[in-house]
Every structure is written in structure tokens, then in C-alpha cells.
């Protein structure tokens, strides 16, 4: 766009949004698209922080040219080598032959693995605490391994107190005019997609996120500029997102509440979930979500499982084993370190099978999942004489929320 998007006096937003991509990482639905953020510092020396995905790069190159206004590019800072940020980098290096790529040693290794090119004459390898003087802006590089990938670093601008935070603090969702979190109703319109992004993409790496936060303690941060989603520039917004991230990264629930994840072929297991949900409502549980694992995108279910304190999983029998959608969901939860939650089981089988055993086996690899109540089991459909057992489970769950 021939229009400058100003972050601070001489720092410009040059990123782009993709509203065509169906799935991020070919897995995660993007109902509102996704933004690939990139920032240009125009100082005595010019520096571009990160690239974007090749799918929307034509506009991106135009944005850079326009913001540079005839200047050359001196540095290309690569905080993260995942192709959603780096597939444009080779073209940028071609267009600006004097630009030097500022990157970690591991980042260089990954660039070579992905693109089979020789960058030896074009790199400045940086490590923990190294600095880059752009004239007015003094940048410091802080290693952030595994916030998302092992090569990741973040860049701190001592001058404007900006944290270029790589994937941390990102969100799904295209930019809709407003670039800054304080310009929108973030909690209403963006938080769920920030949560879904973090939990599903970076969720496994909570310990690494907390290690980065420890390193950032004592640094004044006036502005957080992530690689996806909105920019945070007010103390309120910065402390809000830091607070959320601390919960997510330490696997603590944000709120008390019960997520019932149903799996149902003909509606009988769904009925069991609906009855339990009604009982929980009547017992004063405020936050209740009922999802069908075959209907709601798994990434959204997972995000809410991390949001709330309790969950109920339906172990539906399928070919004598656990219903595939539920099996996959549970394994993904273990992969993402789902822990510190209270869970309960429902089971439906008509003539045998190991659905509940398999579910329990899967979750035995997860840490600190407290099972509430006895698994409630039905054969094909809920029978009226079972209501007392279901009421007992509802009592126990409600008492634990």
C-alpha cells in the first residue's frame, strides 16, 4: 500500500494480511485471516525486522520501498526462520544487495536447510546481549529458544523501548485498519484468537516463554510488536497480555468453568452431555461450553480447554477403540502439555470396546490432571434409571469448579 503505517516516529509497519489462506500451518482454520507483521526502522542505518509469507509478498515489497523512500536497506533482522516469516527473505536480499541478515547461528542453519543458499557474505551472527547501533536506535538481541522454534530471538529497542517479540504475543486475524490493541475491543474481538494462536502454535513451549519473560524483567517495555496480530502500546494492554501469557505459559486456567467435549454419531452421547450440562447449570456453574469434537474446529476446543478449569470428555466407542476425533484431540492436548485441570469421563459403548481405557492411557502421559468422579457409562443411550449416577457426577464436578 502506498501509505505509511506509523508505529513510532521512525518505525513503520510494513506487514500484510492474508485473507485467502484456509489454514495456518495447513492445520488451523483462519476465519478472520492472518497478519504477517514486519517493521522497518528508518534511522541513520535502516533495519527491517522479519519477513512475511510469500503469498502476500508483492504488497510487502511495495510497502518496504515506500517506507524506505529511496533509501537502501542496511539490515534485515531475522528473529524467526519459520517460512510464514522467511519465505520472502531471499527476494528482499536480492532487491537490497548490500543488506546484511542479522540472525542467530541456528537461524542461519535453518535458512540454509530451507532455502539451500549460501548466505556467508550476507550475515551478522548475533548471540545473547549483542547490540546493533542504527544511529538513534540501539537494538539488543535476546535469545528466545523455543518460543516457537529453537532458533528464535527477540529484539529490544532501547531507544523507543520496543520489544520485537517474534511469535510471542501474536494472534490469528487479519489487520482491520487498526494496528494497535488499544484501538479495538481486544477482549471482545481479539482475545479468543490470540488464545487460539498461542495455545495451538506455541502452547507446548510454556517453560521457554517463562524463561524469556525472566530475561525481560527489569526492561522497560513501551510497545510490543509481534509477528502476528496487533501491536500493544499502552501500559493497560501490555499488562493485560502479559498476564494472559503468564497464565497460558504456566498452564493455569484463566477462569473456573466446565468444557464438555462431546463425541456423538447419532445424538445419544450428545444427549448425555446435554443432560450433564443442564445439571451443572442448575448447580450454579457459570461457565459451561458444550462442543462436538466433529463440529467445532479442534483448535478452538483446545483453546477453551486451556481457558477453563474443568473438562468432561466423551469416550465414544468406534471400531472397538476410541472415536478418532476424540483420540486425536486428546493426543494433541498431551502434546501441548495440557495440565493442571480437573477432568471427568463419560463413556458410550454398545457391545464392548476399549474407548475409556484408551482415553485414560492417553492422559496418563499428561501431568497433573485430577479426575473428578467416577466415569459415567452408558450402553447406546441414556437410561432413566441412570439419572442418579449422572446427578452424583454433576454434584462432584460442580463442587470442584
CA–CA distance, 81 with 102 (Å, rounded to integer): 12
Strands (E), 266-358: 288-292, 308-318, 321-322, 341-348
CA–CA distance, 110 with 163 (Å, rounded to integer): 23
Question: Which one, of 312, 337, 329, lies nearest residue 251 by Cα?
Answer: 337
Least distance to Fe ion, CB of residue 63, Å: 18
84 versus 193: smaller Cβ distance to Fe ion: 84
Phi, psi of 204, deg, nearest 5: -65, -20
Per the CB < 8 A criterion, the answer to whether 11 and 160 are in contact is: yes
Task: Dig out the grid coordinates for 89 from the structure.
Answer: 527473505
Instruction: Count CB neighbours of 27 within 10 A.
Output: 12
28 versus 186: smaller Cβ distance to Fe ion: 28
Could you tell me which stretch among 89-97, 173-181, 226-234, 383-391 binds Fe ion (CB under 5 A)? 226-234
Task: Dig out the grid coordinates for 266 from the structure.
Answer: 447419532
Least distance to Fe ion, CB of residue 113, Å: 15
341 binds Fe ion (CB under 5 A): no
Per-residue binder mask for Fe ion (CB under 5 A), 52-91, x = binder: ------------------------------x-x-------
80 versus 289: smaller Cβ distance to Fe ion: 80
The residue within the footprint of Fe ion, chosen from 45, 137, 148, 289 (CB under 5 A), is 148
85 versus 341: smaller Cβ distance to Fe ion: 85
Residues 2-21 that bind Fe ion (CB under 5 A): none
Sign, CA torsion 116/119/124/125: positive
Sign, CA torsion 24/142/236/3: negative
Residues making up the chain, counted from first to last: 401
Least distance to Fe ion, CB of residue 32, Å: 16
Which residue is associated with the grid cell 483453546?
303
50 binds Fe ion (CB under 5 A): no
167 binds Fe ion (CB under 5 A): yes
249 versus 288: smaller Cβ distance to Fe ion: 249
85 versus 289: smaller Cβ distance to Fe ion: 85
Task: Dig out the grid coordinates for 186 from the structure.
Answer: 481486544
Question: Applying CB under 5 A, what is the total number of residues that bind Fe ion?
Answer: 5
Could you tell me which stretch among 58-66, 142-150, 231-239, 323-331 binds Fe ion (CB under 5 A)? 142-150
Least distance to Fe ion, CB of residue 24, Å: 8
Least distance to Fe ion, CB of residue 82, Å: 4
CA–CA distance, 144 with 80 (Å, rounded to integer): 10
**Binding interface with Fe ion (CB under 5 A):** 82, 84, 148, 167, 227
Amino acid at each position: 500500500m502506498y501509505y505509511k503505517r506509523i508505529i513510532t516516529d521512525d518505525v513503520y509497519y510494513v506487514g500484510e494480511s492474508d485473507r485467502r489462506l484456509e489454514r495456518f500451518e495447513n492445520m488451523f482454520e483462519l476465519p478472520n485471516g492472518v497478519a504477517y507483521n514486519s517493521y522497518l526502522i528508518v534511522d541513520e542505518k535502516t533495519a527491517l525486522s522479519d519477513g512475511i509469507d510469500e503469498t502476500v509478498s508483492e504488497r510487502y515489497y511495495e510497502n518496504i520501498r515506500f517506507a524506505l523512500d529511496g533509501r537502501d536497506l542496511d539490515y534485515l533482522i531475522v528473529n524467526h526462520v519459520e517460512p510464514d516469516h522467511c519465505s520472502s527473505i531471499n527476494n528482499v536480499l536480492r532487491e537490497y544487495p548490500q543488506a546484511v541478515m542479522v540472525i542467530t547461528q541456528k537461524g542461519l542453519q535453518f535458512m540454509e536447510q530451507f532455502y539451500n543458499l549460501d548466505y556467508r557474505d550476507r550475515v551478522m551472527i548475533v548471540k545473547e546481549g549483542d547490540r546493533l547501533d542504527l544511529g538513534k536506535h540501539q537494538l539488543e538481541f535476546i535469545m528466545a529458544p523455543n518460543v516457537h522454534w529453537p532458533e528464535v530471538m527477540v529484539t529490544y529497542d532501547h531507544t523507543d523501548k520496543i520489544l520485537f517479540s517474534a511469535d510471542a504475543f501474536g494472534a490469528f486475524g487479519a489487520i482491520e485498519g487498526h494496528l494497535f490493541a488499544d484501538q479495538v475491543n481486544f477482549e471482545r474481538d481479539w482475545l479468543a484468537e490470540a488464545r487460539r494462536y498461542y495455545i495451538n502454535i506455541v502452547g507446548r513451549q510454556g517453560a521457554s516463554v517463562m524463561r524469556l519473560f525472566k530475561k525481560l524483567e527489569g526492561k522497560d517495555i513501551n510497545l510490543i510488536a509481534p509477528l502476528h496480530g496487533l501491536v500493544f502500546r499502552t501500559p493497560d494492554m501490555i499488562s493485560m497480555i502479559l498476564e494472559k501469557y503468564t497464565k497460558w505459559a504456566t498452564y493455569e486456567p484463566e477462569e473456573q468453568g466446565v468444557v464438555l467435549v462431546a463425541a456423538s454419531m447419532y445424538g445419544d452421547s450428545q444427549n448425555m452431555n446435554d443432560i450433564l450440562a443442564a445439571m451443572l447449570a442448575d448447580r450454579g456453574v457459570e461457565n459451561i461450553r458444550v462442543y462436538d469434537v466433529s463440529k467445532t474446529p479442534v483448535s478452538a476446543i483446545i483453546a477453551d480447554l486451556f481457558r477453563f478449569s474443568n473438562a468432561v470428555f466423551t469416550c465414544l466407542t468406534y471400531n472397538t477403540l476410541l472415536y478418532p476425533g476424540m483420540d486425536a484431540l486428546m493426543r494433541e492436548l498431551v502434546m501441548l502439555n495440557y495440565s493442571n485441570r480437573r477432568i471427568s469421563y463419560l463413556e458410550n459403548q454398545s457391545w464392548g470396546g476399549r474407548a475409556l481405557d484408551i482415553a485414560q492411557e492417553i492422559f496418563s502421559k499428561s501431568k497433573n490432571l485430577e479426575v473428578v468422579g467416577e466415569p459415567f457409562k452408558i450402553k447406546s443411550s441414556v437410561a432413566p434409571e441412570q439419572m442418579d449416577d449422572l446427578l452424583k457426577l454433576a454434584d462432584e464436578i460442580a463442587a470442584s469448579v
